[in-house]
Amino acid sequence: MARTVVVLFVTTCASLVLSSASQYPRSRFKAAVYEHKVILPEPSYIPVSRQKALSLMYQNLAVYKTQTEAAGRQNVDILVFPEDGIYGMMFKIRRQVAPYLEYIPDPKQESWNPCTEPGRHANTEVQQYLSCLARNNTLYLVVNMGDKQPCSIKTDPGCPYDGQYQFNTNVVYGPTGTLIAKYHKENLFYETQFNKPKNVNYVHFETPFGRFGVFTCFDIMFREPPITLIERYGIGNVVFPTAWIDALPLLTSIQFHSSFAVKMGVNLLAANIHLPYTFHHGSGIYTPDTNAVYYYNWSVSSGGKLLISEIDVVSQAPRRFAISREDKTPHRMSSGTEFPSVLFHDVFNFVLLKGTRGSLSVCNNKLCCYLDFEKDGSGINNDVYAFGALDKLHTYSGHYYLQICTLIRCANSMKQSCGSPVSFTKTRFRYLRINGTFGTPYVFPAVLLTDGGQLKLAPKQWTFNDLVLESTRRFDFPLLSADLIGRMYDRDGDVNPFWVGR
């Protein structure tokens, strides 16, 4: 059976800005992200006053101040705080969030330092606070907050009933406190309090240690703006505020965010909020070579965490082009019977792993997945593993087309448990090799391990070349999953439907 293989060719794009780190004054920089245990407002359908909103935000900003000063003392160059970190994510009605918002000018049209010019725009207390944090600690500061932009119902047919657009927004301040970038989130996730921007924002900013792109949380699942931003604008480093909800076994925060960095060849500075009881947790500083510094603690009694790491500048991610060719390698038959089971609300085709080593395959629609494996033969346990394939439009909590090859630990010996979230296993693997007949070059690789229920990444223990994930040595901890998650952006159909408020 002939199968199609996607081959990647790596080249540089000379028309884009820079092609080597040596063209920047510095080749390394010290990055920091803070996972913040956000102080939430009291639940209320009645909008609070601006003063009460400020009182709540100042409590969170006081934590930001402590952490920014700690980062400054360690000579951090750039610090990222999470999405929804200043006032939480509890609002679903426009008027509830309105007291927490501020008018944020466009830095492309107006140069403004809120710390040194606090009187230029009224009711900008939060921006003044953040600007002074950046200025007083001489670092780049990335923060998520709310932006309100006035509009006229009479002249703008898209203007909301209350006469203002409301945006989920990232702001970036330079080391002197000047506002240098503003990004409006494109792909909203049940955020009915905010508006989708009329046009996609491709936001980036320059530093002495590289060019940085900006996007937020759910954006990372789509082509716009992340993929276009990276490929068109020569982005090698990304700041990524997020309020990520963990979704085992494929989409935990540290798992997918690290895989994005590896696949796209970028440094990804991902800051999450820390509310384990709502499954919001997991932050990291991820690099293209599978190295990572991360924090993942789902204990409800745990707190926030400042992560700091000195990493190499990536001046420009490589451009990737897909070329298809026919591979005459015979199709390998699976070593067991295929069966369906549900994983993250999608029905996968699975086959069970038998014995301690083997080669097998499984197909779904046009995707066939291939696995070579060898388990650690020491010890005896009842862990059951399955290898699965999915090729379809995912429609739960968003619309996006997926092609996935995944090796997972099943929850128990029942086939229907394969795909259920599980965080514990005893089985280590000596060798893995996974590939598939993907119809897209955008395939994101991940390996997720566990140490007594504590999730772990596997830096430097695997490689990803030509859409093949392959281990380089025995994994240090038992394996929960190994995945290739392909995104066929052109088959997403309608844009993400979970935004309203226009």
Task: Give me 217's structure tokens.
Answer: 């949380």
**Is residue 1 in some structural domain?**
no
108 is a catalytic site residue:
no
**Is residue 346 in some structural domain?**
yes
Residue 22 confidence (pLDDT) = 60
Confidence of residue 286 (pLDDT cuts 50, 70, 90): very high
**What are the respective helix, strand and coil percentages of the chain, to the nearest 5?**
15, 40, 45
Residue 16 confidence (pLDDT) = 34
Task: Give me 250's structure tokens.
Answer: 């494929």
Rounded average pLDDT over 49-74: 98
- Residue from 115, 132, 217, 368 carrying the catalytic annotation: 217
**Is residue 177 in some structural domain?**
yes
Write the pLDDT tens digit of every residue in 147-189.
999 999 999 999 999 999 999 999 999 999 999 999 999 999 9
Over 50: is that where the pLDDT of 5 sits? no
**Is residue 355 in some structural domain?**
yes
Rounded average pLDDT over 343-350: 97
- Residue-wise DSSP of 397-438: SS-EEEEEEEEEE-SSSSGGGTTS--------EEEEEEEE--
Candidates 333, 366, 329; CA nearest to 351 is 333
Q: Are residues 315 and 337 in the same domain?
A: no
Over 60: is that where the pLDDT of 497 sits? no
Confidence of residue 292 (pLDDT cuts 50, 70, 90): confident
Rounded average pLDDT over 71-99: 97
Q: Are residues 269 and 380 in the same domain?
A: no
Residue 192 confidence (pLDDT) = 96
Range of the domain at 278: 27-320
Residue 432 confidence (pLDDT) = 98
What CA–CA distance (Å, rounded) separates 415 from 400? 26
- The count of structural domains within the chain is 2
Worst-scoring range by mean pLDDT, 16-25, 83-92, 239-248?
A: 16-25
Rounded average pLDDT over 6-30: 56
More confident site: 500 or 391: 391
What CA–CA distance (Å, rounded) separates 391 from 368? 9
The DSSP element (H or E) to which 181 belongs, if any, is strand 179-184
Q: Are residues 125 and 52 in the same domain?
A: yes
The position carrying tokens 């060798």 is 431
Residue 329 confidence (pLDDT) = 42
Q: Are residues 42 and 181 in the same domain?
A: yes
More confident site: 8 or 172: 172
Identify the bridge partners of residue 417 per DSSP, sorted by sequence position.
Answer: none
What CA–CA distance (Å, rounded) separates 303 from 494? 39
- Residue from 35, 37, 83, 132 carrying the catalytic annotation: 83
Say how many C-beta atoms besides its own lie within 10 A of residue 94's C-beta: 20
Residue 316 confidence (pLDDT) = 82
Worst-scoring range by mean pLDDT, 8-17, 303-312, 318-327, 334-343?
A: 8-17
Q: Are residues 370 and 481 in the same domain?
A: yes
**Is residue 468 in some structural domain?**
yes
Q: Are residues 345 and 365 in the same domain?
A: yes
Say how many C-beta atoms besides its own lie within 10 A of residue 92's C-beta: 12
Q: Are residues 265 and 401 in the same domain?
A: no
Residue 448 confidence (pLDDT) = 98
**Is residue 93 in some structural domain?**
yes
Residue 378, C-beta contacts closer than 8 angstroms, at least 6 positions apart: none
Over 80: is that where the pLDDT of 240 sits? yes
Confidence of residue 319 (pLDDT cuts 50, 70, 90): low
217 is a catalytic site residue:
yes
Residue 310 confidence (pLDDT) = 97
Residue 134 confidence (pLDDT) = 99
Confidence of residue 380 (pLDDT cuts 50, 70, 90): low
Over 50: is that where the pLDDT of 322 sits? no
**Is residue 8 in some structural domain?**
no
**Is the bond leading into 41 cis (omega within 30 degrees of zero)?**
no
What CA–CA distance (Å, rounded) separates 2 from 158? 51
Over 50: is that where the pLDDT of 304 sits? yes
Residue 379 confidence (pLDDT) = 54
Per the prediction, the chain carries an average pLDDT of 91
Confidence of residue 21 (pLDDT cuts 50, 70, 90): low
Beta strand 385-394 with 346-352: parallel, antiparallel or unpaired? antiparallel
* Residue ending a domain, choose from 320, 340, 371: 320
* Residue ending a domain, choose from 289, 320, 351: 320
- Residue from 185, 196, 263, 375 carrying the catalytic annotation: 185
Is 13 in contact with 61 (CB distance < 8 Å)? Answer: no
**Is residue 195 in some structural domain?**
yes
Q: Are residues 199 and 339 in the same domain?
A: no
What CA–CA distance (Å, rounded) separates 241 from 84? 9
More confident site: 193 or 16: 193
Over 90: is that where the pLDDT of 138 sits? yes
Over 80: is that where the pLDDT of 359 sits? yes
Over 70: is that where the pLDDT of 327 sits? no
Candidates 31, 27, 130, 136; CA nearest to 86 is 130
Over 80: is that where the pLDDT of 410 sits? yes
User: CA separation (Å) from 403 to 15, 133, 185?
Assistant: 32, 44, 25
Residue 12 confidence (pLDDT) = 33
Rounded average pLDDT over 119-138: 98
Q: Are residues 475 and 365 in the same domain?
A: yes
Task: Give me 248's structure tokens.
Answer: 């085992």
Secondary structure in 3-state letters for 291-308: CEEEECCCCCCCCCEEEE
Say how many C-beta atoms besides its own lie within 10 A of residue 186's C-beta: 23
Which CATH number goes with the domain that contains 49? 3.60.110.10
Over 70: is that where the pLDDT of 495 sits? no
* Residue ending a domain, choose from 292, 320, 348: 320
**Is the bond leading into 249 cis (omega within 30 degrees of zero)?**
yes
What CA–CA distance (Å, rounded) separates 224 from 216? 11
Q: Are residues 253 and 377 in the same domain?
A: no
Q: Are residues 283 and 429 in the same domain?
A: no
Q: Are residues 260 and 356 in the same domain?
A: no
